[in-house]
Amino acid sequence: MRNQMNKKNTLFILLFFAGLATFESCTVKDNKSEEKGKYIIPDSLLKTIKIDTVQRCQLVNAITLTGSVDFDQDHQVNIFPLVSGNIQDVKVQLGDHVTAGQTLAIVKSGEMATYSNNLIVAETNVTATKKQLDASKDLFSSGLASQLDVTNAQVNYDQAVAQLQMVKRILKINGDNTNGDYIIKAPISGFIVQKNITNNTAIRADNGNNIFTISDLKNVWIQANVYESNISKVHLGDQVNVTTLSYPDRIFKGKVDKILNVLDPTNKVMKVRIILSNEDYALKPQMFVSVTVVNKENKEAICIPSKALIFDHSQYYVLKYNGKGNADITPVQVLSMMGDKTYLDGGVKVGDIIIGSQALLIYDALNN
């Protein structure tokens, strides 16, 4: 009986070690198979990709605002009629470029005819009083007139001259035209951005409506909207990048020039103003723009090129390169993104080598 039990125990021990050896053999085979199946970046691909190093940079936060292009109101002129009359000849159209002094329109005006008549009367009065003064002086020399007569004649002449000068000034203010026409001229060079008259339009000096608006579009204003949650993140002098739908590949750089410290009662946003140079007139008034406000903080963070970042299944990753074609998928935590640079809160450390281009291609190969 005891011999049978010993045989059973011996058989059991032999089977146990045989099974253990088989398991270890399978494990080693699986490990070798796993190592053999791991994706190695081919040399041909390694020659084309960019290898970057994780660095430490000054942290830059950025927020994106919506806005629109507006006229530079410091270089904009509204033209109002100084006299009443009828428009006879409009020489410019909306959008035309004009130079300072250029004629915009002609107005037939009864007031201008009155000013011309006043000029003739004043000139005639000066001539008459001058002759009276000369006659009084001759009579005084002959003893036929008193000094008082000469003084009165001098006063009348001086008053006539003063009246003529006033009439000339009034006429000059109103275009200096003696044919009964009021000439509307451009006070500055720029574009006709508003036009409220046509030929035969009757205008009145007391109407209060402008007839033309001229704006120099070499500089424009960007009016951006800041919601309450972002007010603390926008500061006077912050650098901004402005992009438009019309020029998606072009970035217009400027800075916050003015903060209007009140909220719009309708949409509850605060307005900020950015002044941009517009020498080529690319930016048109009322264009929709996207404004990225850049705010540098007094601290540093780990940073990598944005092209090295991969987003998949609600998680950001980078590919840490270990040399000899080996790369590991490494999850990271993103603090913020600013153009071609991304700031991280962990996952990699300064000095780590990462793949900076074609990262998504290699990521898919490693997963498959």
Q: Is residue 310 part of a domain?
A: yes
| Residues of the domain holding 159 | 79-215
Please tell me the predicted confidence (pLDDT) of residue 244. Answer: 93
Rounded to whole angstroms, what are the CA distances from 92 to 25, 77, 275? 93, 16, 28
The CA distance from 288 to 347, in Å, is 39
The CA distance from 158 to 165, in Å, is 11
Please tell me the predicted confidence (pLDDT) of residue 35. Answer: 45
Q: Which distant-in-sequence residues (6+ apart) come within 8 Å of 69 by Cβ?
A: 220, 221, 222, 283, 284, 285, 286, 287, 289
| 178 and 233 housed in the same domain | no
Please tell me the predicted confidence (pLDDT) of residue 37. Answer: 60
List phi, psi (to 5°) of 167: -60, -40
The CA distance from 83 to 187, in Å, is 17
**Number of domain units in the chain:** 2
- With a cut of 70, which residues of the chain have pLDDT below it? 1-37, 297
Q: Is residue 284 part of a domain?
A: yes
DSSP, collapsed to helix, strand or coil, labels residue 364 as helix
The CA distance from 315 to 121, in Å, is 90
Assign residue 340 the CATH number of its domain.
2.40.30.170
Cα–chain-centroid distance for residue 144?
81
Rounded to whole angstroms, what are the CA distances from 72 to 19, 105, 273? 87, 24, 10
Question: DSSP class of residue 83?
Answer: S
Q: Which tens digit of pLDDT belongs to each residue from 66-93?
A: 999 999 988 899 999 888 889 988 999 9
110-142 and 147-173 are packed helices; what angle lies between their axes, rounded to 10 degrees? 160
Please tell me the predicted confidence (pLDDT) of residue 117. Answer: 87
The CA distance from 207 to 319, in Å, is 71
The CA distance from 150 to 133, in Å, is 7
Burial of 354 per CB tally in 10 Å (0-12, 13-18, 19+): buried
Please tell me the predicted confidence (pLDDT) of residue 295. Answer: 74
| 221 and 166 housed in the same domain | no
| 151 and 221 housed in the same domain | no
Q: Which tens digit of pLDDT belongs to each residue from 291-309?
A: 988 877 678 888 999 989 9
Please name which of 210, 182, 213 lies closest in space to residue 84, comparing C-alpha atoms: 182
Domain boundary among 215, 230, 258: 215
| Count, residues in the chain | 368
| 117 and 207 housed in the same domain | yes
The CA distance from 36 to 30, in Å, is 10
DSSP annotation string for 99-150: -TT-EEEEEE-HHHHHHHHHHHHHHHHHHHHHHHHHHHHHHHHHTSS-HHHH
| 208 and 221 housed in the same domain | no
Stretch (H or E) spanning 169: helix 147-173
